[in-house]
Structure 1
Amino acid sequence: MDRELYIPRSWTSDPARWRAAGLNQDTVFATKPELAVRFLDAGHHVAGSRATRSTAATKLRSALEERQAGYVLAVARSAEVTTAAGKFRADALAAKVPRQTWQKLSAGAGAKGHRFYDWAVIDLAEARPGSHRLLICRNRTTGELASYHCFSPVPAPLATLVRVAGSRWRVEETFQAGKGLAGLDEHQVRRYTSWSRWVTLAMLAHAFLSLVRADEYARHPAQDELIPLTCNEI
């Protein structure tokens, strides 16, 4: 577990301001993808990342590939990708997927059961080594599309890519729980030192609740008609 604070460029370009905020004098502006690369350099796992068409996002993908770390990064439907047949927008490729190619798979369990979507995967033509693919998710009710750029050192099964893409919901739920149960978002962020301490304690409190919940479930599994205890109940 770790944390980083995104500092706006207007702060890092104002020495008086970052000194008043308690930032180190070697603090420089970094985009969120660049902060993710710092986690990689420190040996941390990066989860729940959303890529954009920016240069910083390209650097994040390159950093992951250099470390032979597979990824599933969400991209805009308008993002252009290259296949053996040429360059296409992600949503245009989705429209070309044959009906029989879509597979109904769960992106993970939610509050109301498994989240089922239709999924398809398309091989991309990349000069870089490894397996590069475009994963497309289609809402079974609304038809809304979501696209993911995927990389793995060797080709990964569709079910694996779907499981990784679905982990983003768990990340979002973790943020919501950290805010609601441990006050993760209640710091005013006026000085860096106090922010760092606040977030660290909030993360520790949430981790404690999660461990107690897991231990309680291992010792006293819920009855068949009941769901396991939640962190809120703990």
Structure 2
Amino acid sequence: MVRVAGVRWSVEECFQAAKRQVGLDHYQVRHWTSWHRHITLAMLALAFLTALAADANPTRPADPLHPARSHDPITLSVPEIRHLLAAVFVPPAFTAARLLHWSTWRRRHQAAARRSHYQRRSVDEPAG
């Protein structure tokens, strides 16, 4: 039962990611065929973004237990790739160089927040 509950949790997380990233729940259809097409395209889009994220980050950090030591930006995530692709296909008011600079700045900022979070957690945890 515990294993089944754990599997259900991962499925729920996948559905939530699909709703946030590719609009899985943004449909207004009346027929099963239309619903099936929308769901299929949304899941294909999520699979494409996930594959791009996995391909963009092939290496793992040398010390996964202490990510607070790294000053590199966080790896490209599905939301970040979706944002970059949207900016490429919908002409932004920014140049490509400025967009990439912003993306790097944002990921470095997120990495600094993660480092701070892990450092604070390591201070707050009692020695055991």
> Which one has a larger percent strand, Structure 1 or Structure 2?
1
Q: TM-score range by the shorter chain?
A: 0.3 to 0.5
> Which one has a larger percent helix, Structure 1 or Structure 2?
2
Give 1 or 2 for the bigger CA radius of gyration: 1
TM-score (norm 2): 0.48
TM-score (norm 1): 0.28
Greater length-normalized contact order (CA 8 Å, ≥ 6 residues apart): 2
